[in-house]
Amino acid sequence: MVVQVTVQQHDGLKLVRHSPALERQLHVARKVLEEQADVLQALAERDRQQPPGSADP
């Protein structure tokens, strides 16, 4: 993924630059969100498999 940052200055000039640091941050954030989604899906599946009224110690 290529991340470009566009900044419009007061005189109306737009600057576009490539941001490798922001790309890395977005990549790490995406991986964390994917891992959290996997955990939440596993918990939801576990909860669906438990009979109603049973408690997990």
Chain segment 8-48, per-residue pLDDT in tens: 888 988 888 888 888 899 999 999 999 999 999 999 999 88
Comparison of pLDDT for 20 and 1, the residue scoring more: 20
pLDDT of 18: 85
Report the distance separating Cα 33 and Cα 28, nearest Å.
9
pLDDT of 13: 87
pLDDT, tens only, 38-51: 999 999 999 888 87
Asked if 15 contacts 7 with a C-beta cutoff of 8 angstroms, the reply is yes
Q: Look up residue 15 and give its two tokens.
A: 């600057």
pTM here is: 0.61
| CA distance to 24, 29, 39, 52, per residue, from 35 (Å) | 17, 10, 6, 28
Domain ranges for the chain, please list them: 4-49
